[in-house]
Amino acid sequence: MTTDCEQAYETLVQFLYRAPIGLAQTTMDGDIEMINPMSAQLLMPLSPDGNLANLFDTLGQLLPQLPQMVREHADGSGVVCESLRLHVSGAGERRGAGQVLSFSLLKLDAHRLMAVIGDATLEVEREARGLARQLSDAARLDALTQMPNRAAVREQLQITLAGERLSGAAEFAVLFMNCDRFAQVNDTLGHAAGDTLLGLIAERLRSALRAQDRIIRGAHRVPMAARVGGDEFVVVLDGLRRADHVLVVARRLVTVLGQPYGIGTQAIHCGVSMGIVLRAHARGDADAVLQDASIAMAEAKRAGGSRYVIFDPQMRERAVRRGGLEAELRSALAGGQLFVVYQPLVGLQPVPGAQEGGGADGVDRCAGVEALVRWQHPTRGVVSPLEFIAIAEESGLIGEVGEFVLDTACRQFVRWQATLGPLAPRILAVNVSRAQLTRPQIVADVRRILEQTGMAPQRLQLEVTESLAAQDELVQSRLHELKALGLMLALDDFGTGYSSLASLHLLPVDTVKIDRSFVSEADTSHRRRVLIEATVRVAHSLGMVTVAEGIETEAQARVIRELGCEKGQGFLFSRPLPADDITAWLESTVAA
């Protein structure tokens, strides 16, 4: 029996010595009673003098808390610590480099401990490589839509550009898309709804591209779709057989992405503006190509949105000029280069019992004035608002420009009321743009300016274009808030937008301004006369006033007057004039 026990013990000792893992048996104070060769090999770098008498001393620099951990382990046996990572070469300046040990300590009984030591260096390296891959993938993935992000697009585009320049064979294209009304969705429904919308757009974009595989798969290349910014998406079409194939994809994407999205009980319309760079115009690196595609996208947005525009090198030159003009506009605001001119609105129909501002025929000679902004550039002369208002909207300066115009015009109007008495205009009209109306603080700004200038709210008329008021729920909500201040609202450019006579009653407006394109043919086109007459009748039935814009001839004025339009505006009566010239015009014309 004794012999069998001795043989079993000898077998166990041989196993421990030959085991491919380090084992060391110690006392409760760490004195080593048994240590196998693997354990000695792994621990030797920690003891330069070769002394492995005490495990606690050997691990003192890497695991100084080990004796305390043993004392605090109250159970008679069990795991004291398990799979701790110890950096062998990391006790000093090189911490984290070199060999890594895996260390576990077991309490065998009240007197003995067993240490299990392994080489975890390769395992740690594999984990590090795996983590690096995960971080690399995460760095190239958009968390919200699970699409590739801008970094991934840049990388892929660089590969595409390098390959195409070497081979010069297949065509490729970059499509840069921006959502036309995403900001309004965030403002009206909240950012959670906006995130949901982006996810829906991403899924619809992927589906639409899968439907176009036949155009691209001939070259065994799959289109890449990515989200590169807040509401910006990019598609890279690599391996097109012909350049014009991109137009098939572009038309489909604009159509598909422009369909309504269901979010809760809401049907959200959010089309895209798209800029396209073809291989023939791809210059520079990936960033340069993306910038050119973005420039073309901005051109599509300025053209009305929900469309695509193909990049042309001249667009880059225009973008540079626009960028310079933006900087100059900032200086113009600070330097007082902007000024306001005024165009009179005259009465076309006799007003029974009218005396103030009316002539002998009872016609109101100056029913009001419209304030228009101008820019006196130090070298270019007067810059057209058609050129700089769009820049002000895109750059975020429209708020400052709009406040300047409203404040200046209100102060001048109050001055006329005080100095001209019955000759003064009765209404001040000021235009507001989409960018102004989507600013949350616009209502507070208008209220503040009215109070500071002493302008009577009922004398102020804010004008918004028909297309904007008719299709934008946020704008309509803002118009109701403005109207609650007691001022009047006008629908500008009526006949050119999306609304109709049938939906006119849905808009909170007091005045309908008939677009000059109708007025210019009032005396020559029967169809135009019918449309003008219908507009006047519907407006009157809703208690609205009508104004004809762009009257330039007596013949036009006569027809407009016969059709019952109350007011007119145009060069026939006066061009836009500075305040002093308007004063002279009022004194000479209205008093006549």
Residue carrying structure tokens 């891959």: 133
Phi, psi of 109 (to 5 degrees): -160, -160
Pairing assessment for the beta strands 460-465 and 338-347 based on DSSP bridges: unpaired
Give the CB-side neighbour count of residue 286, counting CA atoms within 13 A.
Answer: 16
Among 6-20, 232-246, 542-556, where is mean pLDDT lowest?
Answer: 6-20
Q: 3-class SS at 29?
A: coil
What the chain holds in terms of domains, given with CATH numbers, is 2-123 (3.30.450.20), 142-311 (3.30.70.270), 321-590 (3.20.20.450)
Query: Is the entire prediction scored with pTM above 0.85?
Result: no
Per-residue three-class SS string for 415-482: HHHHHHHHHCCCCEEEECCHHHHCCCCHHHHHHHHHHHHCCCHHHEEEEEEHHHHHHCHHHHHHHHHH
More confidently predicted of 95 and 11: 11
Longest CA–CA separation in the chain, Å: 140
Q: What is the pLDDT of residue 414?
A: 97
Phi, psi of 331 (to 5 degrees): -65, -35
Distances (CA, A) of 11 to 7, 116, 171: 6, 19, 73
pLDDT in tens, 410-450: 999 999 999 999 999 999 999 998 778 878 789 999 999 99
Q: What is the DSSP string of 193-254?
A: HHHHHHHHHHHHHHHHHHTTHHHHGGGT---EEEE-SSSEEEEEEEEESSTTHHHHHHHHHH
Residue 459, sorted as left (phi over 0), alpha (psi -120 to 50) or beta, turns out to be alpha
Q: How confident is the model at residue 132 (pLDDT cuts 50, 70, 90)?
A: confident
pLDDT in tens, 223-255: 889 999 899 999 999 877 777 889 999 999 999
